Amino acid sequence: MTHPIDYSHARFLQSAPDLARCPPDDGVEVAFAGRSNAGKSSALNALTRQNKLARISKTPGRTQLINFFDLGDQRRLVDLPGYGYAKVPATVKRDWDQNLAEYLQRRRSLRGLVLLMDIRHPLREYDWQMIHWTLEADLALHLLLTKADKLKYGPGKSTLLKVQQTLEAEGLGGFSVQTFSAVGKTGGDTLESFLDRCLTAE
């Protein structure tokens, strides 16, 4: 499939600790969020076909920052801090939550959120928190069930269906869900199609 945006052009732009220090709020962006270890860096690297791109977000001191990647034409990908990291003290977590909520709710150029969850542990408590913030902010939401290669086809498919059914039961059937594997190189086209829609809409 051909896509209107070449994601391999992504370049690190800047990091920000809070909304006030984000780059100018012009153009359009899509953010990536997920628990630590959900496979966010691997997905970003696979998407941008750059082995080291998301390593920037993992360097000590940057893990709790919002990291921006420029795609050109006033479009950006945004890597949000991985959450659920047990070693972080409660006070830091609270600040973090507040910064994250504020970014999601007040960032005008933000069009959508990709929420990454390990296919073996979907829809944990904090994932729901993110889903509700996204809903409140009226953003597009796309759920990525990562590391799909860890499950055989049957169990993978039934997890996907179960997640879809759970969302529908909560009245959230409009959100899209897919399986993805950075290792198996599957799901990339579907992810790009979601991003294309968010980043090219007027």
Shortest reach from residue 139's CB to ligand GDP, in Å: 20
Cα separation, 55 vs 96, whole angstroms: 20
CA 117 to chain centroid, in Å, comes to 9
Nearest Cα neighbor of 39 from 181, 179, 176 is 181
CA distances from 104 to 52, 81, 167, 200 (A): 26, 13, 20, 19
Quick one: tokens of 152? 């055989």
Stretch that binds ligand GDP, among 3-11, 19-27, 93-101, 179-187 (CB under 6 A): 179-187
Angle at 139 between CA 98 and CA 40, to 5 degrees: 70
Q: Which of residues 40-69 bind ligand GDP (CB under 6 A)?
A: 40-42
Beta strands 66-72 and 11-16 are antiparallel
Instruction: Please report whether residue 30 would count as binding ligand GDP according to CB under 6 A.
Output: no
* 81 to 100: interface string for ligand GDP, x by CB under 6 A: -x------------------
Specify the residue, 119 or 131, whose C-beta has the smaller distance to ligand GDP.
Answer: 119
Stretch that binds ligand GDP, among 5-13, 18-26, 168-176, 177-185 (CB under 6 A): 177-185
Q: Give the burial string for 107-145 (b: 16+ CB within 10 Å, else e).
A: bebbbbbbbbbbbeebbeeebeebbebbeebebbbbbbb
Quick one: tokens of 26? 């012009």
Single residue of 16, 37, 172, 190 touching ligand GDP by CB under 6 A:
37
The site for ligand GDP, by CB under 6 A, has a size of 16
Q: Specify the DSSP class assigned to residue 104.
A: H
Cα separation, 54 vs 42, whole angstroms: 8
Q: Which of residues 122-151 bind ligand GDP (CB under 6 A)?
A: 146-147, 149-150
Specify the residue, 28 or 119, whose C-beta has the smaller distance to ligand GDP.
Answer: 119
Instruction: Please report whether residue 183 would count as binding ligand GDP according to CB under 6 A.
Output: yes
Specify the residue, 28 or 66, whose C-beta has the smaller distance to ligand GDP.
Answer: 66
Shortest reach from residue 45's CB to ligand GDP, in Å: 8
Give the binding site for ligand GDP (CB under 6 A). Answer: 34, 36-42, 82, 146-147, 149-150, 181-183
